[in-house]
Amino acid sequence: MSVKTVALDRAAVEAGLTFLEAGGDFADGVIEFEGRKLGGDTFATFDKRAASIVRAKGRECLLLDAD
């Protein structure tokens, strides 16, 4: 979709919404989607919930320790 003042990447928005519906953050869904689109194979996060959502999709995830 594109309008003079607004442009969006529908696939990225849908990924964010899907992540949100799974109990995660919209931004994490978009970041994970964009990372895969750019060739990344592992999502790294401090967020345990985000890690579980990514792993439930059968994707690689590195859960970082904040300490």
> pLDDT (tens digit, 9 = 90+) per residue, 21-42?
999 999 999 999 999 999 999 9
Residue 6 confidence class, pLDDT cut points 50, 70, 90: confident
What global pTM score does this model have? 0.84
Residue pair 38/23 in contact (Cβ under 8 Å)? The answer is no
pLDDT at 4: 81
Structure tokens at 54: 């990514």
- Which range of residues forms the domain containing residue 38? 10-63
Is 41 within the bounds of a domain? yes
Is 4 within the bounds of a domain? no
Is 33 within the bounds of a domain? yes
pLDDT at 10 over 90: yes
How big is the chain, counted in residues?
Answer: 67
Is 5 within the bounds of a domain? no
Is 51 within the bounds of a domain? yes
Look at the chain and report how many structural domains it folds into: 1
**What phi, psi does 62 have (nearest 5°)?**
-110, 115
Is 3 within the bounds of a domain? no
